[in-house]
A and B are shown apart, each in its own frame.
Chain A
Amino acid sequence: MINMDEKNAYKTFRIASIRPDNYRVKTFTLDGALEAKPGQFCMVWIPRLNEKPFSIMNADPLTFNIAAVGEFSNKLHELAVGDKITLRGPYGNGFALTGKEKKVLLVGGGYGVAPLYFFAKKCLAQKIEPVMVIGARNEQDVLLEKDFTEEGVRVVVTTDDGSKGIKGFATVAAQAELDAGGVDAVFACGPEKMMAALARLCKDKNIPCQVSLERYMGCGMGICGKCVCGGQRVCADGPIFPGEEALKENDFGQKSRDASGATKTL
Chain B
Amino acid sequence: MADLTTKIASLTLRNPTILASGITGVSCDSLKRTSEGGAGAVTSKSVTMEARKGHNNPIMVAFEGGFLNAVGYSNPGIDHALQEFSAYDGEAPFIFSIVAKDAEEFGEIARKADSLQACAAIEIVLSCPHTPGYGTMAGQGTPQATQDITRAVRQQTKKPLSVKLSPSIQALGDIAKAAESAGANAINMGNTAGPGMVIDIERGQPVLAFKVGGISGPALKPLAVRCVYDVFESVKIPVIGTGGISNGKDALEMMMAGATAVGVGTAVHYRGPQALGEIAREIDAWLDAHGHASPGEIIGIAHENEPRK
Contacts and interface: CB of A to CB of B under 8 A. Distances in A.
B144 interface: no
Contacts of A138: none
Contacts of B32: 231
B77 A260 contact: yes
B71 A224 contact: yes
B62 A228 contact: no
A224 B22 contact: yes
Contacts of B22: 224-225
A221 B56 CA distance: 16
B74 A218 contact: yes
Contacts of A103: none
Interface string B86-125: 0000000000000000000000000000000000000000
A10 B60 CA distance: 12
User: Interface SS of chain A: helix, strand, loop or mixed?
Assistant: loop
Interface string A225-266: 110101111001100000000000111000001111111000
A167 interface: no
A223 B61 CA distance: 11
Contact of B74 (A12, A48, A223, A226): A226
| Secondary structure of the B contact surface, majority rule | loop
A52 interface: yes
B162 interface: no
A3 B63 CA distance: 9
Contact of B26 (A5, A45, A257): A257
A218 B76 contact: no
Contact of A3 (B26, B64, B71): B64
Contacts of B65: 2
B157 to A, nearest CB: 23
Contacts of A84: 202-203
B80 interface: yes
A12 B202 contact: yes
B71 A50 contact: no
A262 B64 contact: no
A262 B71 CA distance: 15
Interface in A73-98: 84, 86
A218 B53 contact: no
Contact of B29 (A52, A218, A228): A228
A223 B266 contact: yes
Interface string B257-271: 000000001101100
B57 interface: yes
A259 B54 contact: yes
A174 B45 CA distance: 41
B62 A4 contact: yes
Contacts of A219: 59-60, 69
Given A260-B77, A261-B76, A10 B24 contact: no
B45 A222 contact: no
Interface of A: 2-5, 8-10, 12, 43, 45, 47-52, 84, 86, 217-226, 228, 230-233, 236-237, 249-251, 257-263
19 contacts: A3-B64, A4-B62, A4-B63, A8-B62, A50-B57, A51-B57, A51-B209, A218-B57, A218-B74, A222-B24, A223-B265, A223-B266, A223-B269, A230-B29, A259-B53, A260-B52, A260-B74, A262-B80, A263-B84
Given A12-B202, A262-B51, 13 more contacts: A3-B64, A45-B57, A47-B203, A48-B205, A51-B58, A86-B202, A218-B59, A223-B23, A223-B69, A223-B266, A224-B26, A228-B29, A233-B24
